[in-house]
Amino acid sequence: MKTDSIFYRLFQELPSIFFELIGNPPQTADAYKFSSIEIKQTAFRIDGVFLPTQGEYQSIYFVEVQFQTDTEIYSRLFSEIFLYLHRNKPKNPWRGVVIYPTRSLDTANIDNYSEFFTSQRVSRIYLDELGETATLPVGIATIKLVVEDQDTAITTARELISRTQQETYTERQQRQLLELIETILVYKFPTMSREEIAAMFGLSDLKQTRVYQEGREEGREQGRQEGRQEGARQEKLRMVSLLLKLGLSTEEIAKELGLGLEEVQQQMQKQATS
């Protein structure tokens, strides 16, 4: 699953979920701008940074999403953070958040950085330890859907859709949450068709999502392309009789028009009987 892109999109479109996740009021997001930052002249890229837009007293939040074992994650993370601080010299305090699907992936040694964890300047979140999905806020429950088993993901997604529609979200927020839920399911079930994904949701829900709309437009474009290809094919078939009159053999006609030999022979028979 492309978890980096999912989390980037989630925090970009619904930053309030991040602040709920770390125990802050969701309204805190109003004072922040989320982005991914590349530190020039290095190979470092910070997964996500919440930069405060109001005042110097608010913390900068560095976010790392880690869905595989990485024994170098903390040495790299702190290198990225301190290089960013050195280059940009912000006056704001800073905090770090590392998001794991499960505690078992958190295997890197923290001996050289233990004081950052003890002081809670850097915190770690394990998605499978967030609690029962039904008791979590919809935004956090949507994040947890990423680590749900396939057996339970569809049921959980349906429950989240229902809750999204019942709770006091704006129309835009509802649409964004539905899109994220649907996107997570698409990544979790890569072998399933869009029609099967639609059946999971109920068509009326899926029609509101971006992926469905993009898929429908993709289908239209594919249909237009197939129509153009069929038109070109028919034009080639009409040229078969002309090339025959010019003395070309069946093999030469097939090669000239880019058609199969059998297709050319069938067209010759059709013209002979018409």
Largest Cα–Cα separation, the chain: 89
Separation CA 13–CA 253 (nearest Å): 57
Provide, rounded to the nearest whole percent, the portion of the chain with pLDDT above 70: 79
3-class secondary structure, 123: strand
Q: Is 262 left (phi over 0), alpha (psi -120 to 50) or beta?
A: alpha
173-190 pLDDT, tens digit per residue, is 888 888 788 788 877 877
Q: Mark 105-117 as b/e (b = at least 16 C-beta within 10 Å).
A: ebebebeebeebe
Count the neighbouring beta carbons within 10 Å of the beta carbon of residue 133.
Answer: 19
Quote the tokens at residue 40.
């020039």
Q: What is the dihedral of CA 85, 88, 90, 96, to 10 degrees?
A: -40
Separation CA 77–CA 37 (nearest Å): 13
Quote the tokens at residue 239.
């040229």
Give the residue carrying structure tokens 């880019």: 258
Identify the CA nearest to 121 among candidates 86, 99, 96, 100. 96
Instruction: Report the amino acid identity of residue 105.
Output: L
Q: Where are the beta strands (DSSP E) in the chain?
A: 32-38, 45-52, 60-65, 94-100, 122-126
Res 164 pLDDT > 60: yes
Q: Which helix (H) or strand (E) holds 39?
A: none
pTM across the whole model: 0.68
Instruction: Please check whether residue 26 is in contact with residue 38, taking contact to mean a CB–CB distance below 8 angstroms.
Output: no
Identify the CA nearest to 12 among candidates 32, 34, 37, 28. 34
3-class secondary structure, 7: helix
16-64 pLDDT, tens digit per residue, is 999 999 999 999 999 999 987 765 544 456 778 999 998 778 999 999 9
- Distant-in-sequence, close-in-space partners of 211: CB < 8 Å, separation ≥ 6: 179, 182, 183, 186, 194
- Taking the CA of residue 129 as centre, how many other CA atoms within 13 Å lie in the half-sphere pointing to its CB? 9
pLDDT band at residue 213 under the 50/70/90 scheme:
low
- Taking the CA of residue 166 as centre, how many other CA atoms within 13 Å lie in the half-sphere pointing to its CB? 8
Res 262 pLDDT > 80: yes
Domain ranges, ordered by start, for the chain:
3-205, 214-273
Query: What pLDDT does 154 receive?
Result: 81
